[in-house]
């Protein structure tokens, strides 16, 4: 699979739209809001205005950032993706070899202007956060580094992908480092660790067969579910440190706890059954986003 077609069996030529469609689909449109929203919310809550920083930052985290994160991953995970029955829908496309180069080029060219702009308008702290964010995205999938194949570091890096946009928003708005801010960021980070870990459960058998290391292959499917549960509970406990009514954010981890609870007795052999929980997780994020928005509005109006 993927070999060059012979002269008598050439692959059909593809028009520009199918190629562009594949590249765009590799950015996981369902997950765009998961990175753009934390940035915009943090920037505005920290006192930022509706200005060029907000608009361009949100646009960057909406599409180009996700293309860099997921598109690059799809290129370098091609050999495992073609063997993964989950790929091909909202959980990730299988990019034809013919669009690998285009995906990398598109990821670089669409990200570069935004990165340059945000580096120019940010101070030293914002620049550091931005560079850490980009490094985490690239290091997760790129050859040699491949943080996604370094157990436990994989979950830490994945969480950084989603928390760093919020931290950048805070930094660009010159938010002071206060107990409330730290609690919110740490709680969010623990949630991200748990979410990545739970996502790894469904691939334990496939990853081991493909020689891919992950938190799931190291501690097993059941141990990873318990790890995810512990991270969610820890996130909730940390969020209890927020002042009222921010304390209510702690309750938002409960649906995630309920989502992983049915798999606490999963085995490596039955790990693929956790895919149903992962699909619920993808949609659960939208409900959580709606509820956290209502909480933000309540806090702003007090």
Confidence bin at 19 (pLDDT 50/70/90): confident
pLDDT at res. 41:
94
Is it the case that residue 273 has pLDDT exceeding 70?
Answer: yes
**Contact of 263 with 225, CB cutoff 8 Å:** yes
**Contact of 122 with 171, CB cutoff 8 Å:** yes
Give Dmax over CA atoms of the chain in angstroms: 71
Torsion sign across C-alpha atoms 187, 223, 35, 125: positive
Is it the case that residue 250 has pLDDT exceeding 90?
Answer: yes
Nearest alpha carbon to residue 98 among 7, 27, 16: 16
Is it the case that residue 12 has pLDDT exceeding 80?
Answer: no
Residues 6+ apart with CB under 8 A from 292: 41, 249, 252
pLDDT at res. 86:
61
What phi, psi does 9 have (nearest 5°)? -135, 55
Is it the case that residue 162 has pLDDT exceeding 90?
Answer: yes
Residues 6+ apart with CB under 8 A from 53: 43, 118, 121, 172
Helix axes 153-172, 33-45, angle to 10 degrees: 40
pLDDT at res. 84:
58
120-142: average pLDDT? 95
> 68-104: per-residue pLDDT in tens?
998 888 888 755 655 555 655 555 566 677 788 888 8
| Portion of the chain with pLDDT greater than 90, in percent | 65
Average per-residue pLDDT for the chain: 87
11-32: average pLDDT? 68
Place of tokens 């509005």: 297
Confidence bin at 25 (pLDDT 50/70/90): confident
Is it the case that residue 29 has pLDDT exceeding 60?
Answer: yes
pLDDT at res. 89:
56
pLDDT at res. 88:
54
> 136-146: per-residue pLDDT in tens?
999 998 888 99
- Single pTM value for the model: 0.86
How far is 300 from 280, CA to CA, in rounded Å? Answer: 30
276-288: average pLDDT? 92
């Amino acid at each position: 699979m993927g070999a060059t077609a012979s002269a008598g069996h050439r692959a059909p030529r593809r028009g520009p739209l199918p190629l562009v469609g594949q590249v765009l689909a590799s950015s996981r449109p369902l997950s765009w809001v998961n990175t753009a929203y934390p940035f915009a919310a943090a920037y505005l809550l920290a006192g930022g205005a509706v200005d060029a920083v907000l608009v361009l930052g949100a646009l960057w985290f909406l599409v180009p950032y996700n293309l860099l994160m997921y598109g690059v991953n799809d290129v370098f995970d091609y050999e495992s993706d073609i063997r993964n029955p989950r790929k091909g829908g909202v959980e990730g496309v299988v990019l034809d070899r013919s669009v690998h180069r285009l995906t990398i080029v598109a990821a670089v060219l669409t990200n570069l202007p935004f990165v340059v702009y945000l580096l120019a308008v940010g101070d030293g702290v914002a620049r550091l956060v931005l560079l850490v964010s980009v490094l985490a995205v690239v290091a997760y999938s790129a050859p040699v580094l491949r943080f996604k194949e370094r157990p436990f570091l994989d979950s830490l890096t994945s969480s950084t992908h989603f928390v760093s946009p919020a931290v950048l928003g805070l930094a660009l708005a010159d938010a002071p480092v206060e107990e409330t801010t730290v609690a919110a960021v740490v709680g969010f980070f623990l949630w991200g660790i748990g979410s990545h870990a739970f996502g790894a459960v469904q691939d334990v058998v496939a990853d081991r067969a493909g020689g891919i290391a992950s938190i799931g292959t190291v501690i097993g499917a059941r141990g990873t579910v318990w790890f995810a549960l512990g991270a969610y509970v820890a996130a909730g406990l940390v969020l209890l440190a927020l002042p009222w009514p921010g304390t209510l954010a702690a309750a938002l981890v409960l649906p995630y706890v309920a989502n992983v609870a049915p798999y606490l007795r999963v085995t490596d052999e039955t790990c693929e059954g956790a895919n149903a929980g992962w699909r619920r997780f993808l949609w659960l994020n939208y409900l959580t986003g709606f509820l956290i928005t209502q909480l933000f509005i309540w806090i702003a109006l007090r």
